[in-house]
Amino acid sequence: MINPYFFCELCKERHELNDSVNCAYSKNQVDWTNFMSFEKCPACQSSHFYIQKDFNKILGCGIIILGIIFVPITYGLSLAIVALIDWLIYYQVPDSIVCYKCKGEFFGIESIPNKILIFDHHIAEIYEEPS
Ligand SMILES: [Zn+2]
Ligand SMILES: [Zn+2]
């Protein structure tokens, strides 16, 4: 079990979340203490977050390809096996929560609120810098 921390993209620094947080961009300790509710980002005040899996996609694809190669020998059973392996790896990997706006990332969060979903383009567009 790791202690929750926030990797702040604004400070380019790791902020421990079990202590008073020394963030150069947000001094409001109340926000930092209440980060668990994920109502707003303590660093940039944005209210949109997404879940990020630290899942190695190349590894995942490799396993699937192996499964496909063995289909003729195993009569398709290999596909079921690799799907299971894939699923097991996927759920072993801890999630982190990322803020759409400042890209700050929360690690070691034990219970992720249901309202936080995977990355969504439409939300990301709101925060994109106009080019
Ligand atoms: Zn900071
Ligand atoms: Zn933020």
Map out the domains of the chain as residue ranges.
1-53+95-131, 55-93
Contact 127, 48 (CB under 8 A): yes
What number of residues does the chain have? 131
Report the sign of the C-alpha dihedral through residues 42, 47, 51, 52, in that order: negative
User: What is the 102 CA–ligand 1 centroid distance (Å)?
Assistant: 10
- Ligand number nearest CA of 44 is 2
Contact 100, 124 (CB under 8 A): yes
Distance between CA atoms of 51 and 38, rounded to whole angstroms? 12
Distance between CA atoms of 42 and 35, rounded to whole angstroms? 6
Specify the pLDDT at position 131: 65
b/e 29-40 (16+ beta carbons within 10 angstroms → b): eebbeebeebeb
User: What is the 81 CA–ligand 1 centroid distance (Å)?
Assistant: 44
Q: What is the pLDDT along the chain (131 residues), one digit of tens a residue?
A: 578 999 999 999 999 998 899 999 999 999 999 998 999 999 999 999 999 987 677 777 888 899 999 999 999 999 999 999 888 887 777 789 999 999 999 998 888 899 999 999 999 999 987 76
Specify the pLDDT at position 19: 81
> In Å, what is the CA distance from 111 to each residue of 27, 71, 95, 103, 115?
25, 39, 10, 20, 12
Distance between CA atoms of 50 and 69, rounded to whole angstroms? 35
User: What is the 9 CA–ligand 1 centroid distance (Å)?
Assistant: 7
Specify the pLDDT at position 59: 79
- Ligand number nearest CA of 10 is 1
